[in-house]
Amino acid sequence: MMLNEDTAPPVLHPNAVIRYDETWQVSICTKCKIGVHGDTMKRHLTGKHHCYCKPDWSPILDALNGKPQPRSKDEFPRPRNGIAPIPDLKVWDGFACNLCSYLITSRDAMHSKHWKTHKDVVCRTEIFYRPVKVQVPNYLFGFTCYFFRS
């Protein structure tokens, strides 16, 4: 059965501040460079960064209605390491542990985590991590990183 034009969902305008990524099935704010999960979309668009009124945010929500996407931070996809960067998500300088799969954007957090997790393997003066470029699917609601090859 085909949908006629009157029942087809509206399409996001190409210049809309929100872009829906079909591959990862996530909504990305192209201005803030973050993923925004479905349950926070209206709050994101009406918040201090955008201050949209209903005529501005309503067509975006209508266009996203029915599209599969995360409803919470825990449902965000976790891309495998080494993939190409996802367009419109911010790229950060980060660090990857050489002994496990831990990734983070803070050198201090890397040291702290490593000391707690691997203190029996290395001493404090050893370099146990390497710099990488990372993307954070949604830095406001969860800080899971992955790195990609540049």
* pLDDT value of position 111: 84
Rg (CA), the chain: 19
Under the banding of pLDDT at 50, 70 and 90, the label for residue 125 is low
Please name each of the domains of the chain with its CATH number.
Answer: 18-75 (no CATH), 91-147 (3.30.160)
**What percent of the chain is modeled with pLDDT above 90?**
15
Can you say how many angstroms the Cα of residue 53 is from the centroid of all Cα atoms in its chain?
25
- What number is the average pLDDT over the span 55-72? 88
CA distances to 14, 40, 71 from 47, rounded to whole Å, are 22, 10, 18
Residue 134: pLDDT above 50? yes
* pLDDT value of position 4: 45
Residue 45: pLDDT above 90? yes
* pLDDT value of position 122: 64
* pLDDT value of position 54: 92
Residues 111 and 26: their CA atoms lie apart, in Å, by 32
Q: pLDDT per residue over 70-83, tens digit each?
A: 887 778 887 777 88
Q: pLDDT per residue over 77-106, tens digit each?
A: 877 778 888 888 888 888 888 888 788 888
* pLDDT value of position 98: 87
Helix, strand, coil percentages in the chain from 3-state DSSP, rounded to 5: 25, 20, 55
Residues 26 and 22: their CA atoms lie apart, in Å, by 7
Contact 145, 81 (CB under 8 A): no
What mean pLDDT is reported for the chain?
79
Under the banding of pLDDT at 50, 70 and 90, the label for residue 46 is very high
Q: What is the 8-class DSSP label of residue 86?
A: P
